[in-house]
Amino acid sequence: MFSIGELSKRTKVKVPTIRYYEEMGLLVEAERTSGNQRRYDKAGLERLSFIRHARDLGFSIEAIASLIELQDHPDRSCEAATDIAVAQLADVRAKIKRLKLLEKELARISKSCDGQGVSEDCYVLASLADHELCHREH
């Protein structure tokens, strides 16, 4: 049995965030000492590691709640869990696509002032002001 601070150290999840997860129902309410402090065991540690890993992968709290729900009721869990992961993957791919377009435009905008040829009016500002200067949609 260890304290919330210890759990925080082991999982690298900040203390207030752990309490927040408990409030959101991702973690079951922890046992308490006589002095009302939370105490955790291996099960608590594992669940929090699961949550942290999923958060690192960009799953929303809601999606994680669904995954935990599935863990607790393992019938059919594999298909449903895969659905959630696939949706997450699609989301990530969409974000990558969009960011790549932005990268292209930002690279173009940034580069134009890069060399010695400092022009009178700022190309960065002009580019932002006038969408027509973009080479692509976004």
**Residue 55 binding DNA, by CB under 7 A:** yes
Q: Which residue has the tokens 């599935």?
A: 70
Q: Which of 46, 57, 60, 93 binds DNA (CB under 7 A)?
A: 60
One-letter amino acid at 16 equals P
Q: Which stretch binds its own copies (CB under 8 A): 1-9, 14-22, 30-38, 103-111?
A: 103-111
Q: Which does 3 bind (CB under 5 to 8 A by kind): DNA, its own copies, none?
A: DNA
Q: Which stretch binds its own copies (CB under 8 A): 15-23, 25-33, 35-43, 99-107?
A: 99-107
Structure letter (DSSP) for residue 31: E
Are the CB atoms for 15 and 8 separated by under 8 Å? yes
Q: How far apart are CA 45 and CA 3, in angstroms?
A: 11
**Residue 63 binding its own copies, by CB under 8 A:** no
Give the CA-trace dihedral at 26, 54, 71, 94, to 10 degrees. Answer: 110
**Residue 114 binding its own copies, by CB under 8 A:** yes
Q: Which of 25, 31, 53, 69 binds its own copies (CB under 8 A)?
A: 53
Q: How far apart are CA 19 and CA 46, in angstroms?
A: 16
Where does this chain bind DNA (CB under 7 A)? 3-6, 8, 14-17, 19-20, 30, 33-38, 55, 60-62
